[in-house]
Amino acid sequence: MNFDMTVETEGANTSVVEMSVAPRILRARRMHWHPAALAKIAICVIPPMALVAAGQFNLAAYTLFFILGAFVVFYAAARDGEMPVTLVIATIPVLMLLRGLFIFSALQVLLAGCLLLLISACPREWARVKRNKPLVCFLIGCLVYWLTSFILTGDYSSNLRVLEFGLAAANVFALAGRRSHLATAFAGIAISTCCMGAGLLPHGERLGISTVSQEISIGNPISLGLSSALVFLFTIADRGKWLLVENRPYWRIALNVVACCTLALSTSRGSWLVNMIGLIMILLLNRTAVKALLVCLLLAGITIGVLLQTDRGPVIQHYFETAVSGEGSLAKRTTGRADQWESFGAVFSDSPLWGFGPGSGKAVSLRYTLEGKPWHSLYLLIGAETGLLGLTLLTLLLATLFYRGFLHLRRCGEIGPLLGIVCLSFIGVSVSGIDAISGVYLGIAFIACDFSGMTTAVRGRLIEEHPPLLAAPLPVSA
Q: What are phi and psi of 177, to 5 degrees?
A: -70, -15
Residue 437 lies in a domain: yes
Q: How far is the C-alpha of 180 from the C-alpha of 31, rounded, in Å?
A: 6
Residue 418 lies in a domain: yes
Percent share of the chain, pLDDT over 90: 64
200 in Cβ contact with 144 (< 8 Å): no
Beta-carbon contacts of 129 under 8 Å, excluding residues fewer than 6 positions away, are 119, 135, 136, 170, 173, 174
Confidence tier at 367 by pLDDT (50, 70, 90): confident
For the purposes of burial, counting CB atoms within 10 Å of the CB of 255, is it exposed (0-12), middle (13-18) or buried (19 or more)? buried
Rg over alpha carbons for the chain, rounded to the nearest Å, is: 22
Confidence tier at 338 by pLDDT (50, 70, 90): confident
Confidence tier at 232 by pLDDT (50, 70, 90): very high
- Span 151-189, pLDDT tens digits: 999 998 899 999 999 999 999 999 998 889 999 999 999
Residue 476 lies in a domain: no
Residue 358 lies in a domain: yes
Provide the domain count of the chain: 1
- State residue 432's pLDDT score: 85
- More confident: 323 or 11: 323
- State residue 464's pLDDT score: 42
Q: How many other C-beta atoms are found inside a 10 Å radius of the C-beta of residue 406?
A: 16
Residue 47 lies in a domain: yes
Q: How far is the C-alpha of 233 from the C-alpha of 243, rounded, in Å?
A: 10
Beta-carbon contacts of 17 under 8 Å, excluding residues fewer than 6 positions away, are 4, 5, 7
Q: What is the pTM of this model?
A: 0.88
Report the amino acid identity of residue 9.
Answer: T
275 in Cβ contact with 263 (< 8 Å): yes
DSSP assignment letter at 470: -
Q: Which domain holds residue 108?
A: 2-22+32-208+217-325+339-465
From 113, 116, 104, select the one nearest 161 (Cα to Cα): 104
- Span 8-42, pLDDT tens digits: 333 333 444 444 333 333 444 567 899 999 999 99
Residue 27 lies in a domain: no
